Chains A and B, each alone.
Chain A
Amino acid sequence: MENEFLAACSGDHKALRALFDRYHRRVMGYCLLSTHGDREQAMDLTQDTFTRAFKSLHRVDEPEHFAGWLFTIAANVCHSHGAAEQRRRQVMSLFELETQAAAPDDKEMREQRIAAVQRLLASVDDPLLQQIVTLKYSEPEHTTRQIAEQLAIPHGTVTVKLMRFRAAVRRELAWELLDAEEV
């Protein structure tokens, strides 16, 4: 993955195609959520997302951050495309948490995201996980290394705990997706 990503950054056509093939259906899935299932619009948004991503791949500092960065672009593209209704925005904010997309620029969406985090934290008993998640998603957002330093715990502990939190986000997202009955 790392070599492939570096090759893509240098303009390797095969590596770019591999990245595209790996992620385009997931990006499409997200775009379909935001467009009420309109496939044509979702394809346009997917196109816009990858166009922006491939134009500035060099901005991704670590290959493992690519997916989150890509979904950040998708989120911004979809947000600027048109405001979804409240119910859908809730689902999308969970989706963005799940894909590690950076917090959106839009103030309302940021508030939505914080509300989603707080809602999930209410069911978390682990105090360390609560601290980590709070730091991770408070403003400004902390990196995992900053959180490890601040809490004086190993970096690996932070990443493992956050994986668990994201699993909880996924479970919530699965339930919300079914509840929304919209896509």
Chain B
Amino acid sequence: MADCPIATRERLLALLTRKLPAAEQKQLRAHLRTPCERCLELMEQLGDGELAEAMAGDRTRLSRREANGLFRSVLPADLQPITFLDGLRDLTRVPTLLTTYAAVLALLIGFGTYYMFAPPDAQSRYTGVKAASAPAQSPALQASLIGVVGKVLDGQPDVVRRAMDNELLASDELLLFRYRLSEPAFIYLLADGANGVEVLYSGDAEQATAGEHELGAADQALALDARPLGEDVRIVLVAATERQPQLAQLESLEAVLDPARRVDSCLSCAVDLLRVRTALQR
């Protein structure tokens, strides 16, 4: 059966979104009240809910950030990329554990141990863990991101190893973080994966103190299951002496990785980058 000459899909959707010329609106509205079989053919081809979507028009359109945020918020708890794990005490043992391992397996993790306990000046020369593309930092504020690979065993987080740059994470492995600041700063953790840039952690509430700390909140360690973020994920720590609300709207990590593209309030931000790869998503 040929299409209805009056009610085409395009005209119908234009009518619903008020984009049809006034003269045609009257004709089409009147036609919808007639028993036109060819109209029914057209209506059969529309998808469920398509009319309401068309009627609501652009208000149903979400920005990528809104869609990412909404999608993440509706995932069941066990599929959330970010969780907060109890048992921070276990994680604060990381340096101790690594030191112990280093004593036994110095050849394997000697670099990591050296990095974690070396003075800041020496750290900047270390390139085994950090991404080679990490930009230069302001001399006033320095920040380092340290990834720690962990697993949840019997409900408790357990440290497996230090995360190297471009580390391939197994399907049951989580990423935990430590950071080191040369002076108090607001800190943010961003990820850039298949869904674009996401804020994993925002420390807007209060400045973190100088020194080395676990990344988390309320005595719980932030644990990241990186697989939902994609197969290649860039994770960036941003430390700033001022709050950086614009990071929540960031479209590209380059806007912080490239000092020339930063906003004025972030010119002195310290940034550190860690890249990880993930096994197939579940």
Contact = CB atoms under 8 A, between A and B. Distances in A.
Interface residues of A, number: 51
Interface string B220-254: 00000001100000000000000000000000000
B59 A37 contact: yes
Contact of B56 (A10, A53, A183): A183
B49 A27 contact: yes
Q: Is the interface of B mostly helix, strand, loop or mixed?
A: helix
B16 A164 contact: no
A150 B22 CA distance: 48
Contacts, number: 139
A72 to B, nearest CB: 11
Contacts of A27: 49
B175 interface: no
A32 B123 CA distance: 54
B121 interface: no
Interface residues of B, number: 43
Nearest to A50: B74
Nearest to B227: A13
Contacts of B70: 20, 24, 43, 46-47, 50
Which 8 pairs show the lowest CB-CB distances between chains A and B? A26-B49, A29-B52, A167-B43, A50-B74, A29-B53, A28-B60, A170-B43, A29-B56
Interface of B: 12, 15-16, 29, 32-33, 35, 39-44, 46-56, 59-62, 66-67, 70-71, 73-76, 78-79, 195, 227-228, 281-282
20 contacts: A10-B282, A11-B79, A13-B75, A26-B48, A26-B50, A28-B59, A29-B53, A29-B56, A43-B66, A47-B73, A54-B76, A55-B76, A98-B48, A164-B44, A166-B44, A170-B46, A174-B32, A174-B43, A174-B51, A175-B32
Interface of A: 10-14, 16-17, 20-21, 23-30, 32-33, 37, 39, 42-43, 46-47, 50-51, 53-55, 67-68, 71, 95, 98-100, 123, 163-164, 166-168, 170-171, 173-175, 177-178, 183
